[in-house]
Amino acid sequence: MEIRAYRPEDEIGWVRCRVLAFLDSAYYDNVLTAKEHYENQAIELTAIMDKTVVGLIDVEYENEEKSICYHGSGLGGMIWHIAVHPDYRRQGIARALLTEAERIARKKNINRLEAWTRDDNGVNSWYQQNGFTSDYSYLHLYINEEEGSDIIYSKEKNILPMTIFAHYVGDNKEEVKSQYKRAYECFCYEKFL
């Protein structure tokens, strides 16, 4: 396996790897058709095996404190994407990508990494096993017409909202989760380098 900087010619493989990796996760609905580009500098790495992108990590990092990350002090980096192709899992690829991203981040004086997850036991366990901790969460809610007829509306009579995506940041998470079929708890993980 080779871990190297992302190259523009990796884009199709990057997208395929991410889509396939996310299909059996709590982020199955977060499909990208192109690789994201960042406003700030980023550590963008791919893992290559058999001339195929089998893993990826993207960490956008700060030049100014709290411009990307939410917690801590000093300069941080946000892990926007980390994924391993399902056919190549359990080979240490994600850990190798994270280790290399951390090495590069330290050289750039980044003192911590943050990552956001949904309530996906495998993903959350992986972050914890790799030294991340979480002390903050909120909810992602997908509210359909039947569940939220009192909040789904439009001033324009010809626009008929069918589903809305919302964040719930209050203290009654369990009560709110019980009201909707698609409610995910999202955790902010942090690791100091």
Question: Mapped to the 3 state alphabet, what secondary structure does the chain carry?
Answer: CEEEECCHHHHHHHHHHHHHHHCCCCCCCCCCCCCCCCCCCEEEEEEEECCEEEEEEEEEECCCCCCCCCCCCCCEEEEEEEEECHHHCCCCHHHHHHHHHHHHHHHCCCCEEEEEEECCHHHHHHHHHCCCEEEEEEEEEEEECCCCCCCCCCCCCCCCCCEEEEEECCCCHHHHHCCCCEEEEEEEEEEEC
pLDDT in tens, 119-131: 999 999 999 999 9
pLDDT in tens, 54-75: 999 999 999 999 999 988 889 9
pTM of the model: 0.92
- Average pLDDT score over residue span 143-155: 77
pLDDT in tens, 150-190: 776 667 878 877 888 999 999 999 999 999 999 999 999 99
